[in-house]
Amino acid sequence: MAILFVLLCLFSWTIFLSFVWGEIQYKHDIVFFCTGIVLIVLSIFLDKTELPDYEQYVVYFRIAGDKLSLEPTLVFLSYLIRIFFNNEVFWGFVLYLLFGVTVKLVAIKRLSNLCFLSLSFYISSYWIYHEMIQIRAGVASAFFLMSLKPLYERKLKYFLIYALIAISFHYSAILILPLWFLNSSLKNRVFYTLLIPICMLLYVLHLDFITLLRYLPVPYIQNKIETYTMIAQIGSDRGLITADEYNPFITWYLLKAVIALLMWFNIKRISIHNQYAVLLLKIYTIGIVILWCLPSIPVAATRCSEFLSIVQIVLIPLVIYIANQRRVLYVIPILYGIAWIYWNTFSFLHI
């Protein structure tokens, strides 16, 4: 209950600031980062013991030093906890939280001209999930956001640095590397606009990405597909969602698809106000279509989609630029944020 109270208070506060100030100015930076400090402090002292994965991370912090197959940063931080904090796992959560929240705040400031609205959307959507549950993915996604500025500027060195740091926190961040081949051009706008309905149609026709790959006469690819299928079966045996139970047409996923299409139809107007908008929307679209492209591996589909969709904390607030009546369009990110609060409450807080 305390987590929900804090979430609602911080969400309301940042929405108020975004509505009063709109685009953040240099003089507002101190308020932005002070709000971030309050978020960090509250996050540290909130009780996380009843949240999913807590006990698993307690085990990780205590055995990571002996499990070199785990991410190198987890191994390193477990050593720090042993040496400096008497193996108190509380400090492991603190260290991850400091990395996750701080780097995300810096990334938001770099990428968004609607910082308070982006911060409110981060609090409502990813704050609980990333900083208190999937803490390794939380830090990895923060450095993923940091990699987007050098990706836009085509600075390969800095892009790779941030990508490799992200991978060192969570191996799923390897998804960042292929994104180097994206650009911020609007020339292929029609392709990305049609990509969502096309992938939906392929799913309905049972022609998902994995099925199509099965027809390639390449033994290596076929062997990999069999391996992933076997992993998916092992996951289903452990109680995870199976391919037969998986449904990418649930309301939540369709809502994300509708918002993406709405933004593609108005991307020229939006991109005038934020230079990263096109790149962010391309990544967001890829994150959505994965849901329909990998139905035979549902866990991989949802995890990959969740990771790439972190860009929405900067992207979704930009919908206010669709029309001249921006104050009226604030209702879209606000209602979407409330929907995320509802989802977080019933998915993780069990209130």
SS3 content of the chain, % helix, strand, coil (to 5): 80, 0, 20
Tokens matching residue 220: 């290596």
Is the separation of the CB atoms in 35 and 122 below 8 Å? no
Average pLDDT over residues 242-267: 85
Is the separation of the CB atoms in 298 and 239 below 8 Å? no
Determine the pLDDT at residue 350: 60
- The CA–CA distances, whole Å, from 166 to 70, 273, 276, 294 equal 14, 28, 20, 23
What is the spatial distance between Cα 75 and Cα 275, in angstroms, rounded to a whole number?
A: 38
What is the spatial distance between Cα 150 and Cα 319, in angstroms, rounded to a whole number?
A: 24
What is the spatial distance between Cα 72 and Cα 77, in angstroms, rounded to a whole number?
A: 9
**Residue 195, pLDDT above cutoff 80:** yes
Determine the pLDDT at residue 222: 62
Average pLDDT over residues 127-138: 89
Q: Return all residues near 206 (Cβ < 8 A) that are at least 6 apart.
A: none
By CB neighbour count within 10 A (0-12 exposed, 13-18 middle, 19+ buried), where does 211 fall?
Answer: middle
The per-residue DSSP string of 23-72 comes to S--GGGHHHHHHHHHHHHHHHHHS--TTSTTHHHHHHHHHHGGG-TTS-H
**pLDDT digit string (tens) for 256-305?**
999 999 999 999 999 999 999 999 999 999 999 999 988 777 877 888 89
**Residue 67, pLDDT above cutoff 90:** no
Average pLDDT over residues 60-80: 74
Determine the pLDDT at residue 237: 46
By CB neighbour count within 10 A (0-12 exposed, 13-18 middle, 19+ buried), where does 350 fall?
Answer: exposed
**pLDDT digit string (tens) for 30-61?**
888 888 899 888 888 888 777 877 888 887 77
List, as own/partner pairs, every contact residues 267-274 make where C-beta atoms lie below 8 angstroms and the sequence separation is at least 24, other chains included: 267/186, 267/189, 268/186, 269/321, 269/322, 270/318, 270/319, 270/321, 270/322, 271/186, 272/321, 273/113, 273/318, 273/321, 274/111, 274/112, 274/113, 274/314, 274/318, 274/321
What is the spatial distance between Cα 248 and Cα 253, in angstroms, rounded to a whole number?
A: 6
Average pLDDT over residues 154-158: 96
Determine the pLDDT at residue 238: 47
**Percent residues over pLDDT 90 in the chain:** 39
Determine the pLDDT at residue 264: 95
Look over the chain and give the mean of its residue pLDDT values, rounded to a whole number: 84
Instruction: Count other C-beta atoms under 10 Å from residue 203's C-beta.
Output: 20
**pLDDT digit string (tens) for 169-189?**
998 899 999 999 999 988 889
Instruction: Count other C-beta atoms under 10 Å from residue 157's C-beta.
Output: 7
- Residue 348 half-sphere exposure toward CB, CA atoms < 13 A: 25
Identify residue 54 by its one-letter amino acid code. Y
Which region among 62-76, 235-249, 274-288 has the lowest average model confidence (pLDDT)?
235-249
Determine the pLDDT at residue 317: 92
Q: Return all residues near 267 (Cβ < 8 A) that are at least 6 apart.
A: 186, 189, 277, 278, 281
What is the spatial distance between Cα 308 and Cα 141, in angstroms, rounded to a whole number?
A: 8
**pLDDT digit string (tens) for 93-113?**
889 999 999 999 999 999 998
Identify residue 146 by its one-letter amino acid code. M
| Strand ranges inside the chain, DSSP E | none
